[in-house]
Amino acid sequence: MARINLLPWREELREERRKRFLLTLVGVLIVSVGLVVIADQVFSSAISQQVARNDYLGKQIAIVDERIKQISDLKARRQQLVERMRIIQDLQGNRQISGRIFEQLARTLPDGVYFTEVKMAGKSLAITGAAESNNKVSELMRNLDASDWFDAPSLTEVKATTAGQLDQANVFQLTVRQTRPVVVEGAK
């Protein structure tokens, strides 16, 4: 029988497989490191893009917040202007009423009576004056009650004072409510 030594061939094949395995292992290791580096760059790029988006959104939110603040300031100013316009319109509407009140006060004033002070608080008038007699004060109160512009005269105080030996006057205080006359429909 012939002796054939197959060991060196097997040894060479084993050595060849080991080299191929190591070469494949190094290749897989290089490819793995390359994939990790590429994945890191992709994730870093995605993170930096998201950070850029977040910064952009933060700036836009700040701009919108500023605009919202400006809008609320403008609304407050608008409300103040509307309130001023309403007050001015009320004053314009009541301007004629003040003249009518003074006209009615003059019309209701009997001879021998004069006013020293007239104060208006809301719809109430406080009148201070002097009269020759108590009858003149009563006549003034009847005239005020009969007027369309006044209602419920109430005498607060009447004092008889002597300014000199010949002059004798009654000082009075009364209050009356201001009303608007009722407009009859059909009559102009």
- The predicted-structure confidence for 83-127, as pLDDT tens digits, reads as follows 999 988 877 776 677 778 888 888 888 888 888 888 888 788 888
| Banded model confidence at residue 184, pLDDT cuts 50, 70, 90 | very low
Span 56-188: which CATH code?
3.30.1360.100
132: Cβ contacts below 8 Å, ≥ 6 apart: 112, 113, 169, 170
Rounded to the nearest integer, the mean pLDDT of the chain is: 85
- Determine the residue type at 32: S
| Banded model confidence at residue 179, pLDDT cuts 50, 70, 90 | confident
Question: pTM of whole model > 0.85?
Answer: no
Q: CA of 50: how far to CAs of 60, 62, 168, in Å? A: 15, 18, 97
> Is residue 170 within 8 Å of 134, Cβ to Cβ?
yes
Best CA proximity match to 36, nearest among 25, 48, 26, 44: 44
pLDDT of residue 35: 96
Q: How far apart are CA 136 and CA 132, in angstroms?
A: 7
Q: Could you tell me which residue, 77 or 148, shows the higher pLDDT? A: 77
pLDDT of residue 188: 45
